Amino acid sequence: MIPVTKTFLPSQAEYQAILSKAWDAGWITNRGGLVKELEEKLKSYLNVSNIIATTNGTLPLQIAIKALGLEGEIITTPFSYVATTASIVWEGCTPVFVDIHPEYLTIDESKIEAVITNKTTGILATHVFGNPCAVEKIDLIAKKYGLKVIYDAAHCFGVQYKGKSIFEYGDISTCSFHATKLFHTGEGGAIFANTPELHQICFQLHNFGHKGQEDFSGLGINAKMSELQAAMGLAVLPYLKSILEQRKRITDFYDKNLNFLNLQKIKLREETVWNYSYYPVLFKTEEQLIVVKDLLNKNDVFPRRYFYPSLNSLPYLDRVTMNISDSISKRILCLPLYNGLNEKDLFTFLNAI
């Protein structure tokens, strides 16, 4: 079977050797030594000014909304994983959708100003499949209207844009360290704030609002990463160079061998150092996609319709039409891409088509 992805796992011995430090300390949660060590190593690897490791990739979105004091309407994209929109609704705000660019698949910055009202407080945009949004233009719009900017950068581990980490853009960026990501902690995620003051607010919010052991700054939640998760991250981190090399090799294979007369690739934004996180292809029609997907499934190859459906069709929201996102979500398919996928498997995949 060839799934759309597989979790990269270091040897159990490597994981246990790291985890034994937590056992020796008798400390497996509440920001032990492994979490702090992972944060420092990630700051160095990613070249970022700060990071807060969290227990998953969704709570950082909710914390970001809370930390920035957003209420009312938040402008967002209909083309993302459901957590992006769900976090807005969960925090009592109203998502206002803006359609996406037909090639980059990120929020169409040229359409943002048209939906800004006196209730708008922020923009929550997704760097789709690790492809950066038009961050400079979004920043100008935000400054013009006094809005805050959050980037859902769940797919962006290691991505750079114009010479710096994509996590350094916006007021707050978030990332996922889920088991399906190229860097993972089993479950996990991170918050990246662009000022020390905002970092401190997020830090307190992710730890019940604690301001010291016996004092509280205000309302908080439990989003702390455990030592068990951090140990996995520390075990995976040394393999990132080879993981990225293998994913690039597979990407290059697809680029060389797929028939692009009937398929369209995502367009990467200029000056992006990409991380080969996904390999999405667009079919001309949904019917073509379904035929190919069914054929692949019959041959034990399991790509994924990702993102589908478009989030503007979620059952707990009033339905609005987003012409481009509605169309693309029906025609996009992510092909198998993971560490260990070999050339024999890849040719099997091509032959199945």
Domains in the chain with CATH codes? 2-98+106-238 (3.40.640.10), 240-352 (3.90.1150.10)
pLDDT digits (tens, 9 = 90+) for 267-285: 999 999 999 999 999 999 9
User: Residue 352: which pLDDT band, with cuts at 50, 70 and 90?
Assistant: low
Distance of CA 186 to the CA centre of its chain: 15
pLDDT of residue 35: 98
Sign, Cα dihedral of 139, 124, 151, 249 = negative
Closest CA to 234 of 18, 6, 8: 18
Encode 60-78: b = buried (16+ Cβ within 10 Å), e = exposed: bbbbbbbbbebeebbbbbb
Is it the case that residue 353 has pLDDT exceeding 70?
no
The CA distance from 206 to 60, in Å, is: 8
Mean of pLDDT values over 172-198: 97
pLDDT of residue 151: 98
Is it the case that residue 348 has pLDDT exceeding 90?
no
For the chain, what percent of residues have pLDDT higher than 70? Answer: 99
The CA distance from 96 to 76, in Å, is: 6
Mean of pLDDT values over 190-213: 92
Top-ranked range on mean pLDDT: pick from 208-212, 222-226, 259-263: 222-226
Is it the case that residue 45 has pLDDT exceeding 90?
yes
User: Residue 211: which pLDDT band, with cuts at 50, 70 and 90?
Assistant: confident
Closest CA to 223 of 52, 61, 54: 54
Is it the case that residue 213 has pLDDT exceeding 80?
no
Provide the phi-psi class of 209: left if phi over 0, else alpha when psi is between -120 and 50, else beta: left
Strand-by-strand arrangement of the 160-161 sheet: 164-165, 160-161, 272-273
pLDDT of residue 349: 77
Is it the case that residue 212 has pLDDT exceeding 80?
no
Mean pLDDT of the chain: 96
Whether a cis peptide bond, with omega within 30° of 0, leads into 309 is yes
Name the least confident of 140-154, 184-198, 200-214, 329-343: 200-214
Mean of pLDDT values over 299-324: 96
